[in-house]
Amino acid sequence: MVVNRPARALRAVLAGAVALGLGLASAQPAGADPGRDAEGSTAVARARVAADVLMSSYEPVKAWFPSSWWNSAVALQTIGDYMQRTGDRRYLSQLDNTFEKDKGPFPAGYLSGDPLLGNFTSRAIDDSEWWGLTWVQAYDLTKNRKYLDMAVTIAEYVEGYWDPSTCGGGVWWDGERTYKNAVTNGLWIRLTAELHNRLPGDHRWLGRAQDGWNWLNSSGMINSDGLVNDGLNSSCENNGGTVWSYNQGLAIGAGLELWRATRDPGLLTTVRRLADASIASGGLVSDGVLNEYCDAPDRQCDDNGKQFKGIFQRYWMDLADTTHDSRYVAFVQQQASSVWDHDRDASNRLGERWSGLTNADHPNAFDWRTQASALSALIAAVPKQTPDQSLSATLSPAQPVVMPASGGPTHVKLKVDLQATAPAGALKVEVQAAVPAGWAVTPARATTTLFPRGNAVPARSSVQLDVTIPAGTTDGHYAVTATATSGDRLAFSAQADILVARTVDFDTGTAAETPWLWDADGSQSNGVQNRFADGNSYFVYRFPFPADTTAAHAVLTIDNEYVVQVSGDGQNWTTVLTETRQLHDGENKADQTIDLTPYLGPDKAAYVRVSDSFPTDGWGGRVYHVSAAYS
């Protein structure tokens, strides 16, 4: 795994500034701690970079993150947290797009495996509750009553599944009333308490929240160690199920919101017990880092488990804000640091394991679900009182591939993208680039000016870089760093991971695939040797063959319902392979050889795009392995 390390350089800049006793920018409040202010500005910038990566996976036509329904609710709520915490309001339109497009009924398979009944409800009661919390968050951001009204409608639907005739109470997990569990009831308490705290004069939802809390605490699901097991068995006893982090986090969050409604000190006592159990020996932490059961090196989280830790961290942020307990605040900072320093690739994608642990059999997974989860760790580190200045930088492309020609240097173009927030005025930013020994970059230093107007829409600018790679450079990964600074307080480093390669040969769903994956669109990967595109999604590989290439071909191990197209410019496509049968079990898996020679672009690059030949049934083209050769 290639991991960015701009934080190290940034910490050095900030530490040096603090050591020199440099003053704050004039806009900062008197008495503010310079080191803490710098850390807060950096935390905003990191969260913005990660939020932008997450939103690049948002699909505006169906108005969700393909292809998971409840996970989309949590991802959108996370973006709501980001906007609320930082003041950035760029993604309000996506929230409203989802609200307006997805509030009706839909058949099974369109947005969820279950039919959607309208108003974001379905037989999956917990899914319905996730959407309720998302719309409360949208209301908090906009004060548009339609969002709060939707949350009330969802709560009224869920209320029908509260059933005291079984286990003395609790909300059923599913429409068939087969299981009572922690997640559904933690969600119920949090949702009803949030409604009470936003509806003047309410008594109904407060009563529901109190009943739910009392039932949860007497149900037996919270074990003697203060950890929350998954649910109850048929005898209404703790089933000993896995202690998932999101169940623990929801219990903490439920108690905190109910405490805000009642100010009952006993609630905080219970919340602290749950929190302390989480970070105690035998809890949810390994070497100081939040760890899911499925994060173990011999396991892999499924698409649900990938988002559990982010939910825990959302409510841990609430815990730290509410109690100001230094232990809880330190835990927030520790998770954010681990994610940024160890669990991030060169494209600023955040992975499943916040420690960065990976291995060949169970690699650290990177997708929009893991992005949303780890983003919550970064958001929690943003001060509640948002710093009024921030500066971020990214390099694009972040993971370019160079296939050098023989006998001369090779050039690659990079762009430093800058975003800044500050009170109205001009913000002068200096960008300094660094390349490996023997390489050259032009310009090595550049200056640009941004014109921020507050936090709602960050100001943008960019600097173009020309990197020269000398002839004879051996194959491998090489780092190019761009450090942006503004005055004494703002600094941020970005890194591109340039792959110099003379061969193309990789399994999909691995770190080796990423540099070649020019456009992932809405495709998905469920592990090693697996990338697929369903519906209207696709994915594109780019092969930048050497300038002296005269012939080239690619081999794709592929199955299911695929369309394969080829292009020389990434815009104009020619279909070269189509599966005309509706096949769902991979029985047509085979190596397909594609002659790329007729399609080589003027720069000798070739693009291969895979999509779905039957976009309505959800079994699009799946690729396992890719290789290419040229002469």
Tens of pLDDT along 51-93? 999 999 999 999 999 888 999 999 999 999 999 999 999 999 9
Q: Is the pLDDT of residue 97 over 60?
A: yes
Question: How far apart are alpha carbons 66 and 51 in whole angstroms?
Answer: 17
| pLDDT confidence of residue 526 | 81
292-315 residue pLDDT tens: 999 999 999 999 999 999 999 999
| pLDDT confidence of residue 73 | 98
| pLDDT confidence of residue 16 | 33
211, with CB counted inside 10 A (0-12, 13-18, 19+), is middle
Q: Is the pLDDT of residue 20 over 50?
A: no
| 606 three-class SS | strand
Average pLDDT taken over every residue of the chain: 93
412-422 residue pLDDT tens: 999 999 999 99
- What percent of the chain clears pLDDT 90, i.e. is strictly above it? 89
Tell me the sheet residues that pair with 418. 393, 461
Tell me the sheet residues that pair with 480. 496
Residue by residue, DSSP assigns 456-479 as EEEEEEEEEEEEEE-TTPPSEEEE
Question: How far apart are alpha carbons 95 and 70 in whole angstroms?
Answer: 15
516-536 residue pLDDT tens: 999 998 898 888 899 999 988
Both tokens assigned to 377: 């760790």
Instruction: For residue 27, give the amino acid letter.
Output: A
| pLDDT confidence of residue 179 | 98
Q: How confident is the model at residue 153 (pLDDT cuts 50, 70, 90)?
A: very high
| pLDDT confidence of residue 522 | 83
- What percent of the chain clears pLDDT 70, i.e. is strictly above it? 94
| pLDDT confidence of residue 373 | 98
Q: Is the pLDDT of residue 226 over 50?
A: yes
| pLDDT confidence of residue 32 | 44
Stated length of the chain: 631
Query: Distances in Å between the alpha carbon of 278 and those of 114, 289, 324, 372?
Result: 33, 11, 17, 21
Both tokens assigned to 365: 């997974």
Question: How far apart are alpha carbons 330 and 326 in whole angstroms?
Answer: 6
Q: Please, are residues 324 and 259 in contact by the beta-carbon 8 Å criterion? A: no
Overall average pLDDT of the 222-233 stretch: 98
| pLDDT confidence of residue 439 | 98
Q: How confident is the model at residue 36 (pLDDT cuts 50, 70, 90)?
A: low
| 170 three-class SS | coil
Overall average pLDDT of the 338-356 stretch: 97
CB atoms within 10 A of CB 25: 18
133-142 residue pLDDT tens: 999 999 999 9
- In what helix (H) or strand (E) does residue 214 lie, and over which residues does it extend? helix 204-218
Q: Is the pLDDT of residue 435 over 80?
A: yes
Question: How far apart are alpha carbons 4 and 161 in whole angstroms?
Answer: 47
| pLDDT confidence of residue 188 | 99
Domains and CATH numbers, the chain: 39-58+284-386 (no CATH), 391-500 (2.60.40.2310), 504-630 (2.60.120.260)
Overall average pLDDT of the 213-232 stretch: 98
578-587 residue pLDDT tens: 999 999 999 9
Residue tagged 């090595």 (tokens): 444
What's the farthest any 2 CA atoms get from each other in the chain?
81
Q: Please, are residues 523 and 551 in contact by the beta-carbon 8 Å criterion? A: no
| pLDDT confidence of residue 266 | 98
Overall average pLDDT of the 315-338 stretch: 98
Q: Please, are residues 74 and 133 in contact by the beta-carbon 8 Å criterion? A: no
Overall average pLDDT of the 357-372 stretch: 93
| 543 three-class SS | strand
367-407 residue pLDDT tens: 999 999 999 999 999 999 999 999 999 999 999 999 998 88
Residue by residue, DSSP assigns 108-137 as TTTSSSSPEEBTTB-SBHHHHHHHHHHHHH
Q: Is the pLDDT of residue 547 over 50?
A: yes
Q: Is the pTM of this model over 0.85?
A: yes
Burial pattern 338-363, b for ≥16 Cβ within 10 A else e, equals: bbbbbbbbbbbbbbbbbbbbbeeebb
Q: Could you tell me the end-to-end alpha-carbon distance of the chain, in angstroms, rounded to an integer?
A: 30
Q: Is the pLDDT of residue 38 over 70?
A: yes
